[in-house]
Structure 1
Amino acid sequence: MESALMLKKATYHLWTFAISKLISSFGAQVYSFAISFYILQMTGSATSFATNLLCNILPRALSAPFAGYITDNYSRKAIAITSQIATTLAIGGLLFISLTSGLSLIAVYVTTCILSLTSMFSSVAFTSSISGLVDEKRIQKAMSLNQMSISFAAIGSPAVGGLLYGAVTMPTFLITYIVACCIAVILESTMNFKLFANRKEQNVEDKKESMWQSMKAGISYLKLQPLLVAVIWIAFSVNFLLGAFEVGYSYILIEKMKMPSQHFGLTEGAFAVGMLVVSIYFTIRKEVSFPLLVSKRGIIAMGLIMCGIALPLLLSMSYWLVFTYYIMLMFGLGAMVIFVNTPMQVMLQKKIDDDYKGRIFSILETMSLALMPLGMILYGFLYDVFPAQWILLLSAALLIGIVLILARPSVLHKAHPQLIRGRKLNGETGAVS
Structure 2
Amino acid sequence: MLYSLLSFKNIIKNKEISNIMLFSVASSISLLGTAIYNFAIGLYVLRITGSGLSFAVTLSVSVLSTILVNPFAGVLADRLDKKLLAIITDMLNGILFIGLYVVTCRSTLNLSMIYVSTFLLNVFTTVYGISIEAVKANLVSDEKLISMNSIIKVIESTAAILGPSIGGIVFVSLDVKFFIFINGLSFALSAVLQLFIDFSFNCKESNKVKAEINFIADIVEGITFLKTEKKIINMFKILLY
Matched residue count: 232
Following TM superposition, by how much is the alpha carbon of 1:93 offset from its aligned partner in structure 2, in angstroms? 2.2
Following TM superposition, by how much is the alpha carbon of 1:129 offset from its aligned partner in structure 2, in angstroms? 0.4
Given the superposition, is the C-alpha separation of residues 151 and 217 from structure 1 closer, same or farther in structure 2, using an over 3 Å criterion? closer
SS at match of 1:165: helix
Rounded to whole Å, the distance in 1 between the matches of 2:165 and 2:221 is 46
SS at match of 2:198: coil
The amino acid of 1:163's aligned partner reads I
Correspondence 1:2-17 to 2 at 5 A: 5-17=11-23
Residue 201 in 1 paired to residue 201 in 2? no
Given the superposition, is the C-alpha separation of residues 218 and 156 from structure 1 closer, same or farther in structure 2, using an over 3 Å criterion? closer
The amino acid of 1:16's aligned partner reads L
Following TM superposition, by how much is the alpha carbon of 1:109 offset from its aligned partner in structure 2, in angstroms? 0.4
Aligned to 1:210: 214
The answer as to whether partners of 2:38 and 2:62 remain within 8 angstroms in 1 is: no
Aligned to 2:72: 66
Given the superposition, is the C-alpha separation of residues 112 and 14 from structure 1 closer, same or farther in structure 2, using an over 3 Å criterion? same
The answer as to whether partners of 2:65 and 2:122 remain within 8 angstroms in 1 is: yes
Given the superposition, is the C-alpha separation of residues 216 and 6 from structure 1 closer, same or farther in structure 2, using an over 3 Å criterion? farther
Rounded to whole Å, the distance in 1 between the matches of 2:61 and 2:127 is 16
The answer as to whether partners of 1:39 and 1:48 remain within 8 angstroms in 2 is: yes
Correspondence 1:235-314 to 2 at 5 A: 237=235
Correspondence 1:22-41 to 2 at 5 A: 22-41=28-47
Following TM superposition, by how much is the alpha carbon of 1:219 offset from its aligned partner in structure 2, in angstroms? 7.2
Aligned partner of 1:119 among 113, 119, 125: 125
Rounded to whole Å, the distance in 1 between the matches of 2:180 and 2:153 is 25
Aligned to 1:130: 136
Rounded to whole Å, the distance in 1 between the matches of 2:159 and 2:64 is 23
The answer as to whether partners of 2:101 and 2:180 remain within 8 angstroms in 1 is: yes
The amino acid of 1:211's aligned partner reads F
Aligned partner of 2:55 among 49, 54, 59: 49
Deviation digits for residues 1-42 of structure 1 (CA, Å, limit 9, x no counterpart): 566644432222112211212222232222222201111111
The amino acid of 2:153's aligned partner reads Q
Aligned to 1:146: 152
Given the superposition, is the C-alpha separation of residues 38 and 83 from structure 1 closer, same or farther in structure 2, using an over 3 Å criterion? same
1 or 2, which has the higher helix percentage? 2
Deviation digits for residues 118-151 of structure 1 (CA, Å, limit 9, x no counterpart): 0111011111001111122222211211222233
The amino acid of 1:201's aligned partner reads V
Task: Give the TM-score, by structure 2 length.
Answer: 0.82
The amino acid of 1:212's aligned partner reads I
> Which entry has the higher C-alpha Rg, 1 or 2?
1
Rounded to whole Å, the distance in 1 between the matches of 2:163 and 2:128 is 21
Give the alignment's Cα RMSD to 1 decimal. 2.9
Q: What runs of 5+ residues in structure 2 fail to find an aligned partner? A: none
The answer as to whether partners of 2:83 and 2:199 remain within 8 angstroms in 1 is: yes
Rounded to whole Å, the distance in 2 between the matches of 1:117 and 1:152 is 20
Rounded to whole Å, the distance in 2 between the matches of 1:150 and 1:72 is 22
Larger RCO (CA under 8 A, 6+ residues apart): 2
The amino acid of 2:54's aligned partner reads S
Aligned to 2:188: 182
